[in-house]
Amino acid sequence: MSAPTATSETVRFPVRGMTCGSCVSHIVRAAGRLDGVTRVSVDLRRETATVRREPALVSNAALAAAIGAAGYQADLDSAVVLPPGSDRSLLDRLSAALTKS
C-alpha cells in the first residue's frame, strides 16, 4: 500500500462470508495488494470493508474480484463514498486537531 494522494477516495461496502479474524486478514491482504489501494480496514462485527483508493487505478470490479478470489463476497453495488478524512483513526483526528490549535 502506498501513501494517499489528493485524488484518492474512501469507499465502505458490505462483505459477506467472514467468520473470524483470519477472514479479516485475508481481505486486508487481498485488497491491499491492488495498485492504487492505500489503506484497508475491515470490521468483522459490521461485516464491512473500508478502502482508500485511487479510483483511476482501482475500480469497484477490481476490488470485488480481489476479495472474491480470497473467498468472500464484496457487495460494491452498495458501496458508499465517505467524506474526505472520515476514515482517519481517532489518534490521527486528535493529532490534527491539536496541531491546528
Q: What CATH code is carried by the domain that includes residue 95?
A: 3.30.70.100
pLDDT exceeds 90 at position 37? yes
Domain span including residue 65: 9-100
The tens digit of pLDDT for each residue in 60-90 reads 999 999 999 999 999 999 999 998 866 666 5
Domain membership of residue 82 (yes or no) is yes
Query: Model pTM greater than 0.85?
Result: no
Domain membership of residue 4 (yes or no) is no
What is the count of structural domains for the chain? 1
Domain membership of residue 1 (yes or no) is no
pLDDT at 61: 95
DSSP annotation string for 28-90: HHHHHTSTTEEEEEEETTTTEEEEEE-TTT--HHHHHHHHHHTT-EE-GGG-EEEPTTTTS-H
Domain membership of residue 3 (yes or no) is no
Domain membership of residue 53 (yes or no) is yes
Domain membership of residue 41 (yes or no) is yes
